Amino acid sequence: MRARRLLFVGEFPPSNHHGGAILVRRLLEEHPAGCLTVITSKRGVEHSKGMDLLKCRHIAFPILCGTRHPWFRKIGNCLSLGGVAFTATQEMRRQRMEAVITIIQARYYFAAALASWVTGTPLIAIVHDNVFSSHVGGGKFLAMRRRWTKAVLQHAAHIYVVSPEMQRLVFAECGREAEIQLPSTAMSAREAAGELNFISLGRPVILFAGTVGYTVRDSLDLLANLIATGKLQEYGMPTAKLHLCTSMTDAEIRKHGWDRPGIVAKGWLSQSELAEEFSSADILFLPYSFSTNSREAVKAAFPSKAADYLAAGKPIVVFGPKNSSLVRYASEQGFAEVVDEFSEAALACGIQKVAFSPSYREKLAARALEVFSVNHDIEYQRNKFYLTLDRIMCASEEVTSPEAWH
């Protein structure tokens, strides 16, 4: 199977740093560098430095975000978006790109769709977040963005989504069928051979890894408060610790009030470093927000780090609302202790159940590895992705061949 010439267009480059970019990075990490070009933002590249960027050619555009004049910023970003579309078009023609991949997020996917339409290059769209949510804007802007997003998805040759709920949403919004592609990763040798730690009485190490955005902040804050105030002592865990593996700065940690006893900020870690942290943790914490503002997002989106959690083979505590995609999935698959009530008592009881039952921890860890193997193994997803890519290319070649014109 020959390597296809691919172009990726998106604000955040494929890397192990940001939401949907993680999915693309892992799908394409074995793609020949000479057959892949990435068009992205300078800000995205800067945020992803040291975060396992793909080893290929990157073309980065500025995003204006520091000016005092909002209209100047908007005009500048529109011009930049036009530059992205023009460059993408030129790259497709010059390098004879066979497909363009984009994530339906922020703005660059509009440029990817325009370049795809101009050149007749098949567009593969990945819907990672709920772009139809009212959180992304309001009024006329939201209505206009919604129409344009529908047009992009209706134009796409193939659509990937990260959950069944997102699949239903895409069909309801634009009448297109989409393929579910859950977050995935590779299982390292360390994870495959991992063993459960013996939890010293009352001293579990609880770990959270990922981006601290509006879809997790309130739930993570509740756990941090439980740890810092010592309330877990009432549940037999007087010295529980919370390890945070996030990209938050020290100033941001202080602003959230998380620079407190029992909370250890580890910073953002590479994949190999993260595997080390997972192996030393006792319980992995996978939250989703209960807030009203995030209701639509958590209903259909799905956390990328879930694949890493499952691959670690550790007991997981899922904390989120009943109607979220994460809670439904965890409840159906049985790989976690699920807490769907936003209260300190409910969360503390869930942690206590895992911490004080070795047999329950073993059951959850074993089930996590089973679910990973069936639904989140990158090797399987990558093979399936390239088969889909070949099918799209063959269909495109048939349409453009001279025989198809008669």
CB within 8 A of 277, min separation 6: which ones? 207, 209, 243, 245, 266, 269
Confidence of residue 333 (pLDDT cuts 50, 70, 90): very high
Please choose, from the candidates 343, 318, 341, 342, the residue with its C-alpha nearest in 3D space to the C-alpha of residue 329: 318
Q: Which helix (H) or strand (E) holds 274?
A: helix 271-280
Most confident of 19-33, 133-147, 149-163, 267-281: 149-163
User: Do 168 and 214 have their domain in common?
Assistant: no
User: Do 370 and 383 have their domain in common?
Assistant: no
User: Do 36 and 160 have their domain in common?
Assistant: yes
Q: Cα dihedral angle (187, 208, 8, 114), rounded to 10 degrees?
A: 140
User: Which residue blocks in 136-196 are alpha helix, DSSP H?
Assistant: 139-155, 164-174, 189-192
CA distance 226 to 74: 42
User: Do 336 and 383 have their domain in common?
Assistant: no
CA distance 47 to 265: 18
pLDDT in tens, 139-150: 676 788 889 999
323 CB neighbour count, 10 Å cutoff? 12
Within-domain flag for 281: yes
CA distance 64 to 42: 10
Query: Would you say residue 405 has pLDDT above 50?
Result: no
Within-domain flag for 267: yes
Within-domain flag for 301: yes
**Residue 245 belongs to domain spanning:** 189-375
Q: How many domains does the chain have?
A: 2
User: Do 95 and 199 have their domain in common?
Assistant: no
- When the pLDDT of each residue in the chain is averaged and rounded to a whole number, the result is 88
CB within 8 A of 372, min separation 6: which ones? 187, 307, 310, 311
- 372 three-state secondary structure: helix
290 CB neighbour count, 10 Å cutoff? 20
User: Do 33 and 139 have their domain in common?
Assistant: yes
User: Do 42 and 169 have their domain in common?
Assistant: yes
> What share of the chain has pLDDT > 70, as a percent?
87
User: Do 267 and 169 have their domain in common?
Assistant: no
Confidence of residue 401 (pLDDT cuts 50, 70, 90): very low
Query: Would you say residue 68 has pLDDT above 70?
Result: no
CB within 8 A of 386, min separation 6: which ones? 1, 4
Residues 197/282, Cβ–Cβ less than 8 Å: yes
Tokens of 238: 């007087």
Q: Which pLDDT value is given to residue 346? A: 98
User: Do 214 and 262 have their domain in common?
Assistant: yes
What pairs with residue 127 in β-bridges?
A: 161
Query: Would you say residue 191 has pLDDT above 90?
Result: no
pLDDT in tens, 146-185: 899 999 999 999 999 999 999 999 999 999 999 999 999 9
66 CB neighbour count, 10 Å cutoff? 6
Please choose, from the candidates 275, 198, 287, 272, the residue with its C-alpha nearest in 3D space to the C-alpha of residue 242: 287
Mean pLDDT of 347-365: 96
Within-domain flag for 14: yes
Mean pLDDT of 84-95: 96
Mean pLDDT of 28-52: 89
Residues 92/115, Cβ–Cβ less than 8 Å: yes
User: Do 281 and 339 have their domain in common?
Assistant: yes
Within-domain flag for 322: yes
pLDDT in tens, 224-236: 999 999 999 999 9
Tokens of 214: 């509006």
User: Do 291 and 161 have their domain in common?
Assistant: no
User: Do 269 and 363 have their domain in common?
Assistant: yes
Within-domain flag for 1: no
Q: Give pTM, 2 decimals.
A: 0.89
Residues 294/328, Cβ–Cβ less than 8 Å: no
Within-domain flag for 21: yes
CA distance 96 to 115: 13
Q: Which pLDDT value is given to residue 145? A: 83
Confidence of residue 406 (pLDDT cuts 50, 70, 90): very low
Q: What is the CATH number of the domain that holds 48?
A: 3.40.50.2000
CA distance 52 to 310: 21
